[in-house]
Structure 1
Amino acid sequence: MATYFVGDIQGCFDDLQHLLQQANFDPRQDQLWLTGDLVARGPKSLETLRFVKQLGSAAVTVLGNHDLHLLAIDAGLAKLNPKDKTQAIFAAEDKDELLLWLRQQPLLAYHDEFNIIMVHAGISPQWSQQQAKQYAEEVNEQLHGDNYLALLENMYGAQPDYWQEELQGFDRLRFIINAFTRMRFCAPDGQLEFHNKHSPATNNNIQHIPWYEVAGTHLDGAHVIFGHWAALEGHCSHKNATTLDTGCVWGNSLTMLRWDDKAVFTVPCPIYAT
């Protein structure tokens, strides 16, 4: 049995299949862990959802910002981004089944044997890993419950951008969601910054640094695997974190890591996002 971790698919279904063939992935004995953003700019978001869902226990995925946005669109709480190619999902006969399954997925997944935490964007530098697990569960409970529409309606926005334990209600849940699904750069004190999507090498704002370079205990303990930040091109400066979004949808590559022996598999991708 082998355990594979793969970066953001974003509907690049054919590229995912090529990657799995290259690695000889066998769902009867292997596991595939996905860093979220199963859907969005690629051409086959519907096929991607169906495939990951039908893998059953052979697949573990976390929610990304595009996945949450898809749920909000379906609920009539947000508008479809013209750049997203998810229309086929809303016309599919199995749409309700697929989106119910998607809504049940967590913000954080923990691999007990390998001591790995997988999230979409990262862990707030203001949290410990134990706190991250607790806060992710707070959102999971709301998202899985009967009042999930209120959460989807109130999850948008960039405030608050600084964590305080005293935060309550949707302000608290919004910060948690933003940290797990949208975060890239932070101020040295952990304040979130949402506008800069460049790589650290081309970052001209010295007031902001990558979340994984901020001092804190958020990377003490389990190894953290994340996606979301294609501009990193698979490079992370912290020894206890690994990034796997290598921008397949932007014409770069799709990357998968077999954790057992640290083998890396990649396939080049056409440009899908325009």
Structure 2
Amino acid sequence: MAIYFVGDIQGCFSELSLLLEQVKFNKKKDELWVAGDMVARGTQSLETLRFIISLGSAAKVVLGNHDLHLLATYYKLKKVKAKDYLTDILNAPDVESIMEWLANQPLIQKIPNEEVYMSHAGLSPQWTPAIALKQAKKAQKHLNSKNRVKWLESMYGETPNNWENAKTDIEKFRFTINSLTRMRFCYKDGSLDFDHKNAPKNSPKNLKPWFNFPEHLQNTHWVFGHWAALLGNCSNPNAYALDTGCVWGNHLTLLRWHDKKLFTQEYLHHVHKSS
């Protein structure tokens, strides 16, 4: 059995298919771990979701900010942006079952018996993996509850951006969503910044990438996506950045875990222009 991690697919299903062909992926014995943002910006989001669902237990998924936003648009909390190409999903005959599946996916996945974790954006420097798992499970429980719409509505906002200031259940939920699906840079005290998306070398001096805090991720491996500007380059050897900006014209990346080998597939311009 091989475990393959993939970064932000964002509706680039043709590229994903070619990548899986490249490694001869077999859903009967291999696993595909998807680091969130399965949808949006690419033109094949519906195909992507249907395929991942078809893998059954061979797919291990975490939700990204675009996946959560899709849920919010389904429940009419937000409007669909034309650039997100979500209309196909929302008009699909199986949309209800797709949304139910999506809402039941976690925010963190962990390889059994190993200190290897995956979330869309990373691990807050204010958290240990144990705290992150606990809060992720609470957030998932909220999204699976009868109050799903209320919780989806409450996830929007940028406060509190410091875990110490998260006092109420809603504040803890919002911080959890933001740190696991939106975080890139943090201030020196570990508070979340929401304004900067560039590569670290082009960032303000008062900000640090979440993975650059002292002793962060010691004895822990963390796989994440979300940060296309990194193009897979990460200064912490225990962090694996897998969003390589396929939908922006770069490439999709697959990481085979047991030997850390990377496989890539270039963006197929002609497929998306004709879709």
TM-score normalised by L of structure 2: 0.96
- 1:34–1:60: 8 Å Cα contact kept in structure 2? yes
Between the aligned partners of 1:202 and 1:258, the Cα distance in structure 2 is 30
Between the aligned partners of 1:118 and 1:157, the Cα distance in structure 2 is 24
| 2:262 alignment counterpart | 264
- Greater helix percent: which structure? 2
Q: Map 1:35-74; keep pairs closer than 5 Å.
A: 35-74=35-74
| 1:19 alignment counterpart | 19
Shift of 1:216: 5.3
Unaligned runs of 5+ in 1: none
Shift of 1:166: 5.4
Residue 211 of structure 1 aligns to which amino acid in structure 2?
W
The yes-or-no answer on 1:215 pairing with 2:233 is: no
Residue 242 of structure 2 aligns to which amino acid in structure 1?
L
Q: Map 1:146-157; keep pairs closer than 5 Å.
A: 146-157=146-157
Q: Map 1:121-160; keep pairs closer than 5 Å.
A: 121-160=121-160
| 2:233 alignment counterpart | 235
Measured against aligned partners, the alpha-carbon deviations of 1:3-47 in whole angstroms (never above 9, x if no partner) come to 100000000000000000011111111000000000000011000
Residue 44 of structure 1 aligns to which amino acid in structure 2?
Q
Shift of 1:126: 0.4
Say which SS state the counterpart of residue 192 (structure 1) adopts: coil
Shift of 1:185: 0.4
| 1:85 alignment counterpart | 85
Measured against aligned partners, the alpha-carbon deviations of 1:130-180 in whole angstroms (never above 9, x if no partner) come to 111111111011011111110111111111111117521211110110000
| 2:172 alignment counterpart | 172
Shift of 1:236: 0.6
Residue 109 of structure 2 aligns to which amino acid in structure 1?
A
Question: Which has the larger displacement, 113-122 or 188-197?
Answer: 113-122
Measured against aligned partners, the alpha-carbon deviations of 1:30-66 in whole angstroms (never above 9, x if no partner) come to 0000000000000110000000001001000100000
Between the aligned partners of 2:114 and 2:223, the Cα distance in structure 1 is 12
Question: Which has the larger displacement, 111-120 or 189-198?
Answer: 111-120
Q: How many residues align?
A: 271
Residue 24 of structure 1 aligns to which amino acid in structure 2?
K
Closer/same/farther in 2, CA of residues 57 and 163 from structure 1, 3 Å limit: same
Say which SS state the counterpart of residue 264 (structure 1) adopts: strand
| 2:29 alignment counterpart | 29
Question: Which has the larger displacement, 114-123 or 176-185?
Answer: 114-123
The yes-or-no answer on 1:225 pairing with 2:232 is: no
Percentage of identical aligned residues: 48
Between the aligned partners of 1:149 and 1:77, the Cα distance in structure 2 is 8
Between the aligned partners of 1:90 and 1:247, the Cα distance in structure 2 is 25
Residue 154 of structure 1 aligns to which amino acid in structure 2?
S
| 1:188 alignment counterpart | 188
Between the aligned partners of 1:225 and 1:170, the Cα distance in structure 2 is 27
Between the aligned partners of 2:167 and 2:24, the Cα distance in structure 1 is 47
TM-score normalised by L of structure 1: 0.96
- 1:252–1:270: 8 Å Cα contact kept in structure 2? no
Question: Which has the larger displacement, 166-175 or 191-200?
Answer: 166-175
